[in-house]
Amino acid sequence: MLQRLYIHNFRCLENFELPIKGMSSALLIGKNGAGKSTIGIALEVLQKISRGINRMRELENLNLISPKDFARGRSDVPIRFEIEVLLDDKLYKYVLALELPEKFKELRVFEEQLLVLGDPIYSRKEAQVTLHNSSQNREAQFLVDWHLVALPIIQEQSETDPLHIFKTWLGRTIILSPLPTLMTGESNGETLEPKPDASNFGEWISGLLSRYPAAYTQVDKYLREVMPDIQDFLNEQIGKDSKNMIVRFEANNANLSIDFKDLSDGEKCFFLCAVVLAANKFYGPLFCFWDEPDNYLSLSEVGHFVTSLRRSFKNSGQILVTSHNPEAIRKFSDENTLVLHRKTHLEPTLVRLLSDLSVQGDFVDALIRGDIEI
C-alpha cells in the first residue's frame, strides 16, 4: 500500500505530500488546474521507469516530463519524487531527483536511491551508482549515463530480491485516464500493463484471461450487475496472432452480438472497471490511480460504479481517484477526501483532508458555490 508520495518543483507541485497512509481508497477534488492530474503524471513517470523506459528523452517524448516542468521555470532546484510503499510488512522508499544544469537541453539524474526498512539497496549520486552490502553481494560501484535512471538497469538476484519486489509492484500500478473512443476489442498480443488511455484494452483483457482463466468469472459477475442482459463475451480469432472481442446480449428470447468497439463509451468503462477489479484480485494487490472514473457515465450509474471500486480495494490494494461529479464525491467520507487548492497559477498547490476543513452546510453545495477555502 502506498504510504507516502512526495513531489517537489514539478509543475504546480512544490513541497507537496499526499497524505493517504492507511487509506484503501481516497478521492482528490479541486478546481481545474489544482494539480489532480499532475499527481497521476508523476505516478506514471515512476511507473514507466519501472517498466524499463529510463532515458529522460524517452519520457519527454511520452509527454510525461520535460525541462519545461520545473515549477515556474526554477531549474536551479531539482525536480524530486519520493514514494514510500508498504509491501509484505516492509517499508520501501524510492527517491529520484532530476536536474537541468545551465546550457543542458535534457534532464539528467542528480540523485537516486532505493531503501528497505531504512537500509539502502542501492544509491546514486550523479553518474555513480553504489550497490550496498547484502547477503548476495558485497558493496560495488559502477557508472551510468547521467540521462538514464538506474532502477531498470540493476540486475535482480531472484524473485525475493527487494529490487524485484519493488519494481514488480511499481510496474503493475494502474494509471488510468481512459479515452473510450480508442478502446477496441482487438488484440495482437497479451499484456498485464494497460496504457493510461486504455487503448490496449484488448491486449490487457487477453493477458488477464490467458494467465488467470478464473478471472473470467469475476469480470462476468460485475458486468451482469451493470448490464443484466449480457450473455457473455468472447475473443474470436481473426488472424494468426489476432483476436477481436464480441459481446453478446440476450433478452426476451432474442440475441444480439456487438463488436466491442461499437459499445457505448459508458459500456466500455464498465468493462474497464470489471478488468481493474479482476486484476486487483488475481495479480494484486495493486495500486490504481483513475482520473475521473465517472466520466461517460449517467448520473444513475455513477454511485454503483464508484462504490464497486471502493469495495473491491477495501481489503486488498489501494485506489486513488479524482472527480468533479457530485454523486461520486458523496460516495467518499470526509476522512478520505483530499481537497487540492491554489489561489493563482503563481502559487503552489495546497492539500488538506476534508475532515480538517470547516464547511458550512452540505459540502457538495459548498463546492458548487465555490466556498471551499484551505
The DSSP bridge partners found for residue 250 are 255
* pLDDT single digits (tens) 83-119: 999 999 999 999 999 999 988 999 999 999 999 999 9
* pTM (2 d.p.): 0.93
Mean pLDDT of 338-361: 84
Indicate whether 134 pLDDT > 80. no
* pLDDT single digits (tens) 43-79: 999 999 999 999 999 999 999 999 999 998 899 999 9
Task: Tell whether 232 is covered by a domain.
Answer: yes
- HSE at residue 331, side-chain half, CA atoms within 13 A, is 27
Task: Tell whether 108 is covered by a domain.
Answer: no
Task: Tell whether 198 is covered by a domain.
Answer: yes
Confidence band (pLDDT; 50, 70, 90) for 337? Answer: very high
Residue type, 109: V
DSSP states of 64-121:
S--GGGBGGG-TTS-EEEEEEEEETTEEEEEEEEEE--TT--S-EEEEEEEEETTEEE
Burial of 319 (0-12, 13-18, 19+ CB in 10 A): buried
Task: Tell whether 334 is covered by a domain.
Answer: no
CATH number of residue 206's parent domain: 3.40.50
pLDDT recorded at residue 365: 58
Task: Tell whether 50 is covered by a domain.
Answer: no
Residue pair 140/131 in contact (Cβ under 8 Å)? The answer is yes
**Domain, as residue range, for 189:** 176-286+293-316
What cell numbers appear for 87 in the block?
509491501
Task: Tell whether 327 is covered by a domain.
Answer: no
Total of domains in the chain? 1
Q: How far apart are the first and last CA of the chain?
A: 27
Task: Tell whether 271 is covered by a domain.
Answer: yes
* pLDDT single digits (tens) 301-318: 998 999 999 999 998 999
Task: Tell whether 131 is covered by a domain.
Answer: no
